[in-house]
Amino acid sequence: MKFIKTNITDTINGLRSQLYKKLTAPIDAMWELLYIGSSQHYFIENDENIMGYCCINDDNCLVQIFLLEEYNSKMENVITALIESKLITSASLSSNEPISFNTCLSLSKGNKTNTFCYEHANTPRDIESKLNLELVTTNDIPSIKVFLKDQVGMDDTFGYTENLVSRKEIYMLKESDVIIATSECRMSDSQPEIADLGIIVNSNFQGKGIATQVMQLQVNRVLKANRKPICSTTLDNIASRKVIEKSGFFCSNIIFDISFTNN
């Protein structure tokens, strides 16, 4: 069995589209774009036949794996080979792909919850809100980057905000010159029926119900576009989970950090 480094090619994209058709719940956009998209991709080969592919990040963590249907029975052999070759020491996988997820759990030395992923019940929210969510423009990019750095410690030096602005997928709520909140509404390219929502509220304005109003406005925007809203949050963000569930979402899958070592 061989693991051959490759770039994101048409072949990889073709295999990934097959994986997405198997998922029991949508894939989270943040994981897809930032973690999986920036990882090293490998073809999985046996006797010069491509069995599938996998993605491994700089920390030797498996973040995605797919085998063609005729090779599903080999999943444990493949992951064991990845561990024994020291290509991976851990995995961060979602329960939305049971074959690889369950195999990694069976081989694990320990695991912990990382991210809760939610789908919406697809019912429009009946709300009255005077909040004025406006699209972020090119001129707003510097202030948005400062906001992201101050509020969540995100140092956007890689064009993340610029991409969202060019796609018209980031909004903001301002009061005078103060950014109260930002909200992403990412229309997925790989999952054309899905839109991924995200909200950051200025710490000075939290606890006032702003996040819930913004979320519900964005849910209605997505439903009008004939897409299904999804979103996610981490285990320790209790306030975010309350906002999400109050806005009509339910947890459909969980991303776990799975360790293959005793450290």
Average pLDDT in the 115-135 region? 86
- Find the mean pLDDT for residues 7-24: 95
pLDDT at 263 (0 to 100): 67
Share of the chain above pLDDT 90, in %: 83
Residues 165 and 144: their CA atoms lie apart, in Å, by: 10
205: left (phi over 0), alpha (psi -120 to 50) or beta: alpha
pLDDT of res. 217: 92
In the chain, the domains with their CATH numbers are 2-115 (3.40.630.80), 122-247 (3.40.630.30)
pLDDT-derived band of residue 122, with 50, 70 and 90 as boundaries? confident
Average pLDDT, the chain: 93
Side by side, the strands of the sheet bearing 170-175 are 2-6, 40-46, 49-56, 61-67, 90-94, 249-259, 110-120, 228-234, 194-201, 178-187, 170-175, 134-135
Q: Evaluate whether 240 touches 118 at the Cβ level (below 8 Å).
A: no
Condensed to tens digits (0 to 9), the pLDDT of residues 140-194 reads 999 999 999 999 999 988 888 999 999 999 999 998 889 999 999 999 999 999 9
Distance between alpha carbon 206 and the CA centroid of its chain, in Å?
Answer: 24
pLDDT value, residue 30: 84
Rg of the chain on CA atoms, in Å: 20
On whether the pTM is more than 0.85, the answer is: yes
Determine the Cα–Cα distance for residues 113 and 236; give it in Å rounded to an integer. 10
